[in-house]
Amino acid sequence: MAGSQVLKRRRTALERAEKFLSESCFPDCNLRGRLFGDTCPLVSLSCFQTPQRIPHDEAVRQEFRPTKVGDSFGPTWWTCWFKVELSIPREWAGKEVHLLWESDGEGMVWRDAQPVQGLTKEGEKTSYILTDGLKEAEPHSLTVYVEVACNGLFGAGKGSLIAPPDPDKKFTLNKAELVVFNRDVHELLVDFEILVDMAKVLGEENQRSFQTLYVANQMVNLLDVTDSCTFPAVRHLASSIFSQKNGESQHTIHAMGHCHIDSAWLWPYEESIRKCARSWVTVIRLMEKNPEFTFVCSQAQQFEWVRNWYPGLYAQIQDYAKEGRFIPVGGTWVEMDGNLPSGESMVRQFLQGQRFFQQQFGKLCSEFWLPDTFGYSAQLPQLMRGCGIRWFLTQKLSWSLVNTFPHSTFFWEGIDGSQVLTHFPPGNSYALKGRVEEMLKTMNNNRDKGRVNHSAALFGFGDGGGGPTQKMLDRLKRMSDTDGLPRVQMSTPDRFFSMLEKEKTQLFTWIGELFLELHNGTYTTQAQIKKGNRECERILHDAEVLSSFALTQKNTFQYPSIKLQHLWRLLLLNQFHDVLPGSCIQLVVEDAMRYYAEIRSMCGLLIKDAVRSLFGELLPTGPETAESLLVLNTLPWERTEVISRTGAKTLGAIVLESVQDGHCANQFVIFDDVPLYWDAWDVMDYHLETRKPITTLLKPLEIVLAGGLRGSVKFSLQISEWSVITQEVILDAMCPYLRFLTQVDWNEAHRFLKVEFPLQVRSMNATYEIQFGHLQRPTHWNTSWDWARFEVWSHKWMDLSEHGFGVALLNDCKYGASVHKNVMSLSLLRAPKSPDPTADIGPHEFTYAVMPHRGSFQEAGVIRYAYNLNFPLHTVPAVSAQCPAWSAFSVHSPAVVLETVKQAEDRLDGLVVRLYESHGSTVVTWLQTSLPVKEAISCDLLERPDPSSHLPLEEHGLKLSFTPFQVRSVLLILRQ
C-alpha cells in the first residue's frame, strides 16, 4: 500500500533538508553530527615558540614544554611547533583515522621529517589522515610535528581583512584529538549538499529544482543516521538524479585546481614560502587519492622557493608534473603588476619564468596566467607572442566599478597588432569552491553565448593559499554530467584553450589596453617602492650595457651573469602585483626597500668593474690627481641638446605662453582621499570634488643660480601643519625642458597630492607612454568608459598636443596621471592607512619636467628627452685630459630606441640587443656598431634564434625594418 502523500511547501521542505546538513542546528540527530565517530585523546602534546621561521631539523632539537587544548600562543608572526605523540586504539582496526586539529593560524603537519599536510581552519582543512584503514601490522603509535604560523590565511589584520596587522594577536589551539572519520557519511553529505543547492539555485520556475528537492526530502525520510545499513538505499536515490545526463548542446566547464598565493601581501615574503609548501603538499595528498585531479600553478619564484626549502616535496611535484597533473602555468617569474613594470622588466618576467619552467619541467608555458592584477598594458600581447605564449587568462576585469566588459572569450590585440586568445572565467573568481551556484554562474555569465560553449573554472582557496579540498573534488564529480547543470570536467589549460581554438572564427577582437576601473590608487601608493623600481630598472640596464661593452673589449673580463640574474630576480619579485602597486603591509615594504638597496649596491660595484675593465688605463690607481672626467652615456644617442644658450633664455617664456590664460602652471593641489573600502588600492571619482590649491608660501622665491649654463630658483609651500613642499625650478642652457626638483615632507592621512598644468592646448586625446610605445586616451568624459579613466597610468612621459604645438610632462619615478580637457595632472603622493598605516609618510624627492614643443611630440624628441631625464650620465675621474670619444652603437632613425644590450643567455660569445619602434611608424633603419661582431641573427624575446633570419652585416651595419611599436631582438655573435 502506498504511503500517504503530504503536500509539500517548498520553503519548509528546503529548510528541512538544509537543517539535516547543518553544523549548528540539531547536530545530535542530523547527518552532519555523524561525520566523526569515536574519539581518542593524544598521548601527549608539547610545544615551543620562536620568533624565527626555522627548518624542521632545527625545530625538533628544541626543548618542548607540555601544552594543552585551550592554550594560546603568539604573538603575530611567531611560529609555534607542536610535538604530537599519539596511539591509535587497536579496536579501530580497519577504520579511517584522522588527527583532528583546529587552531588559529596556519599549520603544517610533519611526519618522518617531511611535510605531509597543510592545516588551516580558514581553508577548511582541519584534519590529517593518519590511515585510510588501519591494519594490524601498521604502527599504532607515532609522533608527528605540527608547525603553526602565528598568522591567518589572510595575515593578521585587526578588525578587517586589510587592516594593519595586530602585532600582539594571540592564537588558540581549539581541538587536538584522534577521530574515526565516517567516509560513508561524508559521501552522503556531499550528495545532499548538491541536491539542496540545485533545489535552491535553479529556482521555483525550474522543474528540475522541484525534482531535486523532492528527492532530498525522500532521502531524509529514508535515512536513519544511526543505522549505516540505510545508507546504500539513500545513495541510490541520490544517484537517480546524478545519473540523468545532459544533452549534447550543454555548456562544458573545464575545472582546474588552483591556489592563488600572493607572493607577498598581508604577510611578508618569508611567510609565502611556507604558504606554498602548506598548500602544495595538500595538493599532492589529493592527487594520491583522486587520479583525475589536475592542478595549475603559476609563478616560477614560488617553485624556486619550494625547490630550495622543501626538496622532498619538490621532487613529488616534479613527478606529478611529468604525469601532466601538477601543471606549471603562466611563464613569468611572478604574477607581476600589469601596468607599472617597464617593457624590459616584462620581458625579463617571461625570460626568467619560461627558462625556469623549461629547465625544471621540460616545457615552456603556452598561456600567460595573471588572474589578479590591476589592469593590463596594451603591449602585453606582443610580449606574450614573443615569449612563446599564445593564450591569456585573467578575471580581474570583472572588478571594474563602472562598465561591464562585454566578452568572456575573445582575441586581445596589442598596439603593434599582435593577438592572443583570451579568456575571462565567467565565474568571476580564481578561488571557486566547486558549488552548484558557481557552476551555474560560470555558464550563465558567459558573455559569448552562441559563439563559445566552453568556460574555465578555477577552484581552490586562494590569495592566502590553501588550494582545493576533497569536498570540492567530490562536489565536482557529482556535477560531471547531471541534467539541469552544465557539464563539469577536470581539464588542463592545453585542453581548454584547444577547445576554444576550434570556435575562434566567431570570436570578437578587443584592441588596446584592458583598463581596470578600480584600484587606480595603486599607480601612486608607496612612492618609495615605485621610485626604487624605476631606479633599479635603470641601474640594471646600465650595468648590463657597460658589462657587455667590457666583454667585447677585454678577453679577461667575466660577464657577471649569475649576479645579474640574482639582481633581476629580486627586482622582478618586487614587481609582484601587491608589492609594486603598494597594496601591502609595512613588513613587505621593508623587504622591498632592502632588495632595492641590494640591487643599487651590487650594480654600483658591477658598473665600477666594467668601467675599470674598459678604461683602466685612464683611471687613477693611486693618489694621483684626476685631470678630467670620463663621461659615460648608456643611451644610444648623443646627449647634446638642440637649444642654444640664447634659446634657453626663451624657454621660460615658451612655458608661460603654453599655460592657459588666467591660470597658474605647476599648481600643487590636494584632495580628500577616502575610498569606499580598498584604502591603498582605490581613488574614487568623488575625490575630484574636494580639490584645494596649495598657496600658502612658507619660504618666498629665492635665486639659487643666477644663470650661465644653469639658472634656478627655490621656494617652499606649506601643505598643512604637518607637511611641506620645497622645490627648485631649474633651467639648463642646453635643455628643452624646465625641471622641477621637488622635496616633500609628507605627514598626511587620506590625502592625495597632485601637480597641475592647465595648458593653452586643445585636443580630444592625450598621449601616454607605456611599455615599448605609447597610446592615446580621451581628454573628455563623453561616455562612462571615458570618465571611468579619471585617473590613469603612464611611464616616463605624457603629452597633450594640437597640430603644430604641444606640451609634454616628464617624470623620473611617477606613474599616476590624468589629462582632463586641457589640464595635465601628475599624481605625486597618497596617504592611505590600510594595510600599511605608515604608507608614504616621511621625506620624498623626485623630479618632473615640462617640455613645450613645436610640431608633434615625435618630431620634438620627447621620447628621447624622457629617457635622458631618467638615465643620467655616469662621470668617472680620469688621469688623462685626452679621454677618447668612443661609441658602441648608434641607430639612424630617431623612431627606433635601442633599449637593451646584454650577454646572451646561452652563448658566452653573444650579445642580445633589443630595439623597438617608438613613434608608431613603419620605418627602416641602420644599427651601427663598433663592436667586433661577426654574425647577426634575429631572435625572439626568449633569445631563441631564427635560423632562417641571418642578418647581413653591411658597411652601414645592420639594416632593420620595423612596423609600428614592433619590438625586435637580435643576437650578435662576437669575434673571439
The pLDDT tens digits for 50-93 are 999 999 999 999 999 999 999 999 999 999 999 999 999 999 99
Q: Specify the 3-state DSSP secondary structure of 178.
A: strand
Closest CA to 965 of 383, 261, 92: 383
Residue 622 scores a pLDDT above 80: no
Distance from C-alpha of 816 to C-alpha of 562, rounded to nearest angstrom? 34
Q: What is the pLDDT of residue 653?
A: 73
Q: What is the pLDDT of residue 75?
A: 97
261: which strand partners? 463, 464
Distance from C-alpha of 927 to C-alpha of 970, rounded to nearest angstrom? 11
Three cell numbers written together for 521:
590608487
Topology adopted by domain 252-511: 7-stranded beta/alpha barrel (3.20.110)
Q: Mean pLDDT over residues 755-780, rounded?
A: 98
Distance from C-alpha of 817 to C-alpha of 815, rounded to nearest angstrom? 6
Q: Mean pLDDT over residues 723-749, rounded?
A: 96
Question: What count of other Cβ atoms lies within 10 Å of the Cβ of residue 553?
Answer: 16
Three cell numbers written together for 234:
539513500
Closest CA to 360 of 309, 304, 413: 304
Distance from C-alpha of 544 to C-alpha of 550, rounded to nearest angstrom? 10
Query: Which entry of 337, 372, 542, 679 is annotated as an active-site residue?
Result: 372
Distance from C-alpha of 651 to C-alpha of 337, rounded to nearest angstrom? 38
Distance from C-alpha of 313 to C-alpha of 684, rounded to nearest angstrom? 45
Asked if 121 and 103 touch (Cβ cutoff 8 Å), the reply is yes
Cell 586625446 found at: 765
Q: What is the pLDDT of residue 555?
A: 73
For residue range 492-534, what is the model confidence (pLDDT) as tens digits? 999 999 999 999 999 999 999 999 999 999 999 999 999 999 9
For the stretch 156-193, what's the b/e string if a residue is b when 16 or more beta carbons lie within 10 angstroms of its beta carbon? bbeeeebbbbeeebebebeebbbbbbbeebbebbbbbb
Q: What is the pLDDT of residue 643?
A: 45
Alpha-carbon dihedral 661, 665, 668, 672, rounded to 10 degrees:
40
Asked if 47 and 80 touch (Cβ cutoff 8 Å), the reply is yes
Q: Mean pLDDT over residues 389-415, rounded?
A: 98
Distance from C-alpha of 338 to C-alpha of 771, rounded to nearest angstrom? 10
First to last CA, the chain: 99
Residue 2 buriedness (CB in 10 A; 0-12 / 13-18 / 19+): exposed
Helices (H), 49-104: 56-59
Residue 716 buriedness (CB in 10 A; 0-12 / 13-18 / 19+): middle
- The 3 state secondary structure assigned to 607-653 is HHHHHHHHHHHHCCCCCCCCCEEEEECCCCCCCCCCCCHHHHHHHHH
Asked if 734 and 643 touch (Cβ cutoff 8 Å), the reply is yes
Distances in whole angstroms, Cα of residue 956 to Cα of each of 379, 651, 890, 938: 31, 37, 10, 18
Closest CA to 719 of 694, 685, 684, 686: 694
Three cell numbers written together for 27:
547536530
For residue range 652-675, what is the model confidence (pLDDT) as tens digits? 777 878 888 889 999 999 999 999
753: which strand partners? 670, 829
Residue 612 scores a pLDDT above 70: yes
For residue range 77-87, what is the model confidence (pLDDT) as tens digits? 999 999 999 99
Q: What is the pLDDT of residue 5?
A: 61
Distance of CA 412 to the CA centre of its chain: 19
Question: Taking the alpha carbons of 237, 243, 244, 246 in that order, is the dihedral positive or negative?
Answer: positive
Q: Mean pLDDT over residues 379-407, rounded?
A: 98
Whole-number percent of the chain with pLDDT over 70: 98
Distance from C-alpha of 62 to C-alpha of 79, rounded to nearest angstrom? 13
Asked if 122 and 152 touch (Cβ cutoff 8 Å), the reply is yes
Distance of CA 102 to the CA centre of its chain: 31
Q: What is the pLDDT of residue 751?
A: 98
Q: What is the pLDDT of residue 134?
A: 84
Q: Mean pLDDT over residues 266-275, rounded?
A: 98
728: which strand partners? 714, 741
Distance from C-alpha of 59 to C-alpha of 145, rounded to nearest angstrom? 9
Under the banding of pLDDT at 50, 70 and 90, the label for residue 7 is low
Residue 1 scores a pLDDT above 50: no
Q: Mean pLDDT over residues 933-949, rounded?
A: 94
pTM here? 0.97
Q: Mean pLDDT over residues 542-557, rounded?
A: 92
**Per mean pLDDT, which range of 68-72, 112-116, 640-644, 693-697 is the poorest?**
640-644
Amino acid found at 447: R
Q: Percent helix, strand, coil in the chain (nearest 5)? A: 30, 30, 40
Q: At the fourth CATH level, which superfamily is domain 527-615?
A: Glycoside hydrolase family 38, central domain (1.20.1270.50)
Alpha-carbon dihedral 92, 96, 101, 107, rounded to 10 degrees:
130
Q: What is the pLDDT of residue 545?
A: 98
**Ramachandran region, residue 650 (left: φ > 0; alpha: ψ -120 to 50; beta: rest):** alpha
Q: 957 versus 616: which is more confidently predicted?
A: 957
Closest CA to 498 of 366, 379, 369: 366
Under the banding of pLDDT at 50, 70 and 90, the label for residue 6 is low
Residue 644 scores a pLDDT above 50: no
Q: 195 versus 733: which is more confidently predicted?
A: 195
Q: 949 versus 927: which is more confidently predicted?
A: 927
Distances in whole angstroms, Cα of residue 665 to Cα of each of 426, 534, 692, 816: 46, 26, 15, 18
Distance from C-alpha of 226 to C-alpha of 902, rounded to nearest angstrom? 72
What are the DSSP calls for 793-860, one per residue? E-SSEEEEEETTEEEEEEESS--EEEEETTEEEEEEE----SS-TTTT-EEEEEEEEEEEEES-HHHH
CATH for 667-870, among 3.40.630.10, 3.10.450.50, 2.70.98.30, 3.40.630.40? 2.70.98.30
Distance from C-alpha of 54 to C-alpha of 78, rounded to nearest angstrom? 11
Closest CA to 442 of 210, 471, 430, 406: 430
Q: Give me the residue spans of the domains in the chain.
A: 10-30+185-243, 33-181, 252-511, 527-615, 667-870, 889-974
**Per mean pLDDT, which range of 253-267, 840-854, 873-887 is the poorest?**
873-887
Question: What count of other Cβ atoms lies within 10 Å of the Cβ of residue 944?
Answer: 17
Residue 642 scores a pLDDT above 50: no
372 is a catalytic site residue: yes
Residue 681 scores a pLDDT above 60: yes
**What is the architecture of the domain spanning 889-974?**
Sandwich (2.60)
Distance from C-alpha of 55 to C-alpha of 310, rounded to nearest angstrom? 9
147: which strand partners? 81, 108
**What is the architecture of the domain spanning 33-181?**
Sandwich (2.60)
Cell 597658474 found at: 664
Q: What is the pLDDT of residue 23?
A: 84
Three cell numbers written together for 853:
614643443
Closest CA to 369 of 398, 418, 327, 317: 327
Q: What are phi and psi for residue 22, nearest 5 degrees?
A: -70, 145
Alpha-carbon dihedral 48, 50, 54, 59, rounded to 10 degrees:
-20
Side-chain-side CA neighbours of 244 within 13 Å: the count stands at: 10
Distance from C-alpha of 414 to C-alpha of 380, rounded to nearest angstrom? 7
